Amino acid sequence: SGDGICNYFKEGAEVEISSSDEGFRRSWYAGAVIRPPEDPNRASSKVLVEYKTLTESERKKTPLQEEVELVQLRPPPPVERGRSFKLNDEVDAYYNDGWWEGVITQVLAEDEFSVFFPGTREQISFKSSHLRLHREWVQGKWVCYKLAPSPSSSSKRKSRQGEHFCEGDQVEAHIEGDGFEGAWFAAKIVKKSSSSSKHNYLIEYADIREDDYSGFLRSEVDRKNIRPRPPYHVSVDSFQVGAAVEALYADGWWAGVIRRVFINGNYLVYFEGTGDEMRFNHSQLRIHQEWRQGKWH
């Protein structure tokens, strides 16, 4: 409501700004509110912001100003001093003038870590001074989310009914219906459904917006259509013809097969579910994996 989170974004307020542009998803940039929203009750209400680290051009050092939607803003997260990091921690890494969401996939030294970025499929090493714990701004509070369940911990979280997920777990969800065959979409568990079905969860998609852009889409999904996020460390330098892959397209990962290999790391991918063929760069592909009986195959 206007009396809650939205009221924070007044003129002069320090903020972080997200981008929905391709190649910049899951990144945040420091800035300040220049003109507050006319209607703080609408998440799509426009806000004029000024970036702290981005300029209008390379030559002009004037700070970049941009009109963004209220849903793209959040306050700066709390500053943490002397935090230690470990393998599989979800972090934000300071890179290219902004904070990018990633996960630690390797500890290189006491103070150096290899971070994988799901949004760009890049792997880069960072000192701990350029890392912070990843947090989400949810209904006026900072919340730490986690990847789960990993194969090693999944056995502890299973019952006779199958797999259980906890509030805040980072998952992928499948949408049932024509045209969505073999597609999985990043999401997080909001809560176990309070409806009559014990097998449903309320989830919030990471990249799919509501039709009115009031926020990210929430949906009740059957447990059989939910799986953990695949392990990031499984990657290859190149794919061969016939390789089973998943391609990042239309906010989701779509299962397909490599039909042709081009130069410069480009591939033609065939999608059996829809019968389509499309061209993708290596950075937009990952190995196809299936989650069965608590393990990745």
For 69-125, how does the pLDDT look when each residue is reduced to its tens digit (9 = 90+)? 888 889 999 887 777 898 888 899 999 999 998 888 889 988 999 998 877 778 899
Identical fold for domains 5-74 and 146-228, yes or no, is yes
Fold of the 244-296 domain: SH3 type barrels. (2.30.30)
Dump strand ranges (E) for 5-164: 14-18, 27-35, 46-55, 63-69, 73-74, 90-95, 98-109, 112-117, 122-127, 131-133, 136-138, 141-143, 146-147, 158-159, 162-163
Question: Class for domain 5-74, per CATH?
Answer: mainly beta
Backbone φ and ψ for 149, nearest 5 degrees, come out as -85, 145
CATH class, range 90-137:
mainly beta
Whole-model pTM: value is: 0.62
Instruction: Give residue-wise pLDDT tens across range 132-184.
Output: 988 888 767 787 755 544 444 444 444 434 567 888 888 999 988 888 888 99
Instruction: Give me the residue spans of the domains in the chain.
Output: 5-74, 90-137, 146-228, 244-296
User: Would the pLDDT of 259 be above 70?
Assistant: yes
Classify domain 146-228 by CATH architecture.
Roll (2.30)
